[in-house]
Amino acid sequence: MSAAAGLTLGGGSALPAGTYIVESQTTGEVDPRERTDFWSEHVGSYQTRMDFRYASPETFRGEMIRQGTDTYQIVDWSCDKIEYVRTPRLVRQEPDPDYRFLLPLSGELVLRQDDQEARLAPGAGSLMTLGAPFQLLHDASLRGIIFSIPAREIDGPLNRKSPLATGIDLTTGLGKVVGSMLESLSAERESLTTTEFNAVSDRIVELLCMITVGDDRPDSSGHLTEVEAVVRRHVREHAADPGLTGTSMARALGWSLRQIQLALQRVGTTPRELIREERLRLVRDRLQCGECEHMTITDLAYASGFSSASALSTAFRQRFGVSPREMRHGVR
């Protein structure tokens, strides 16, 4: 391998709110002498600052297709043998708390992080963080998907940092659903809107949270898992109802409030927090939807279950880091 070459770019490039892009990059259009620099710059721009070690820099080839919004991103990539390293020094210089979910489609990935090693082949995936050093390497037969998830989208619902889940089985159960959704989201990249891409990504992250918490608490009850899934669906369908509460959910679903509280407690949330989270996502989607441009922030607040525009604005800024008006106008 060649000596590591540090990147001078910062972490993943920012997009204006409401934007959905699809773009491709290939070294085939670049002078062979500049291909490794080209690859390092684009990977660093899409992900975070890393060191790169190329097995054969003179003949290196790679391709990637990026799709994403200001919230989520998917990169489908294939390239020759390479090693990506995020050192403790780079983590200190450019902190980045966000997560990535790795999904190989062919070949094998090796991920080393937090004293764990995961060897990933098709049918297995892994959740990793950019907030800690890691080493990622693969051979020349690799093609994979890397799904970028802001830390707030996982840590917020869980009320804590997620346990890193290595070697998630994607051949059965929830894991298979997650893998299929990611592959479909990537394959349909040209046919999606901002709202559609974010909505599907939200559901994928919900499922990943269920998987990682399930790994962290292996003694959890299957019944409570079922209760949680039904409650989440009910909240999603009735989030705009200002009368939605834990008590009204229990009455509608035929379970006790205590059962619902226990089911949600397993994944680090409460009925009130789950309702607020779904309402905030509803507002975010409507802010980015052209059909809702005529609605004022006050209209959106009442139509999404909030008691006032000020209550919405306070909760929205805490959750997304910008006000509803700033998101509507593309301010990050």
For 319-332, the pLDDT digits (tens) are: 989 999 998 887 44
Residue 75 shares a structural domain with residue 161: yes
Which of 193, 216, 239 represents a domain boundary (last residue)? 216
Locate 319 and state its tokens. Answer: 């959750």
Domain enclosing residue 169, as ranges: 5-216
pLDDT band for 8, please (50, 70, 90 cuts).
Answer: very low
Of 166, 201, 216, the one marking the end of a domain is 216
Per residue in 222-253, pLDDT tens?
A: 567 778 888 998 999 999 999 999 999 888 88
Which residues, 6+ apart, have CB-to-CB distance to 159 below 8 Å? 268, 269, 273
Residues 88 and 205 in one domain: yes
Residues 93, 212: one domain? yes
pLDDT tens-digit readout, 55-82: 999 999 999 999 999 899 999 999 999 9
Shared domain for 259 and 212, answered yes or no, is no
CATH code at 316? 1.10.10.60
Please compute the mean of the pLDDT values over residues 86-102 and round it to a whole number. Answer: 93
Q: What is the pLDDT of residue 6?
A: 32
CA atoms within 13 A on the CB side of 169: 6
Average pLDDT value for residue range 166-184:
89
22-40 residue pLDDT tens = 999 999 989 999 999 999 9
pLDDT at 152: 82
**pLDDT higher at 284 or 3:** 284
Strand order in the sheet with 109-113: 5-6, 51-54, 82-86, 134-138, 109-113, 116-120
Are both 207 and 81 inside the same structural domain? Answer: yes
- 3-state percent helix, strand, coil for the chain, nearest multiple of 5: 45, 20, 35
What's the total number of domains in the chain?
Answer: 2
User: 27 near 61, Cβ under 8 Å?
Assistant: yes
In the chain, how long is the greatest CA-to-CA distance?
A: 67
Task: Answer yes or no: do 193 and 239 share one domain.
Answer: no
- Reply yes or no on whether the pLDDT at 286 is more than 60: yes
Q: Describe the crossing of helices 271-287 and 151-158 by its angle, rounded to 10 degrees.
A: 150
- 68 and 211 assigned to the same domain: yes
| The residue to which tokens 């659903």 are assigned | 177
Instruction: Mean pLDDT check: name the lowest of 150-154, 176-180, 203-207, 220-224.
Output: 220-224
C-alpha dihedral (52, 56, 57, 62), degrees to nearest 10 = -80
Q: Is the pLDDT of residue 265 over 80?
A: yes
pLDDT of 185 over the 70 cut: yes
Q: What is the DSSP string of 199-250?
A: HHHHHHHHHHHHHHHHHH-TT--HHHHHHHHHHHHHHHHHTT-TT--HHHHH
* pLDDT for position 161: 61
136 shares a domain with 45: yes
Final residue before a domain boundary, out of 175, 192, 216: 216
User: CB within 8 A of 24, min separation 6: which ones?
Assistant: 63, 64, 65, 66
Query: What mean pLDDT do residues 1-25 have?
Result: 58
Lowest model confidence (mean pLDDT) among 95-99, 119-123, 213-217? 213-217
In this prediction, residue 156 carries a pLDDT of 65
Give the CA distances from residue 266 to residues 53, 93, 152, 243, 270, in Å, rounded to whole numbers and listed in that order: 42, 35, 19, 25, 9
Predicted local confidence at residue 11, as pLDDT:
43
Question: Who wins on pLDDT, 299 or 256?
Answer: 299
Question: Are residues 15 and 45 located together in one domain of the fold?
Answer: yes
Write out 163-212 in H/E/C secondary structure.
CCCCCEECCCHHHHHHHHHHHHHHHCHHHCCHHHHHHHHHHHHHHHHHHH
Do 202 and 92 fall into the same domain? yes
Q: For residue 84, what pLDDT is reported?
A: 96
The answer on 96 and 13 residing in a single domain is yes
pLDDT of residue 163: 54
> Looking at residue 48, what is its pLDDT?
92
Higher pLDDT, 310 or 330: 310
Confidence at residue 305, expressed as pLDDT on a 0 to 100 scale = 93
In the block, residue with structure tokens 């450019």: 94
Mean pLDDT of all residues in the chain? Answer: 86
What is the CATH classification number for the domain harbouring 51? 2.60.120.10
Task: Scan for tokens 């869980």, then name that residue.
Answer: 158
- In 3-state terms, what secondary structure has residue 130? coil
The least confident of 1-5, 84-88, 118-122, 263-267 is: 1-5
Phi first, then psi: give them for residue 166, nearest 5 degrees. -105, 145
User: Is 136's pLDDT higher than 80?
Assistant: yes
Q: Given pLDDT bands bounded at 50, 70 and 90, which one contains residue 220?
A: very low
Question: How confident is residue 217, by pLDDT bands cut at 50, 70 and 90?
Answer: very low
Return the DSSP state at 291: G
- Do residues 209 and 238 both lie within one domain? no
Q: How many Å apart are CA 218 and CA 230, to the nearest integer?
A: 20
Where does the pLDDT of residue 3 fall: very low under 50, low under 70, confident under 90, or very high at 90 and above?
Answer: very low
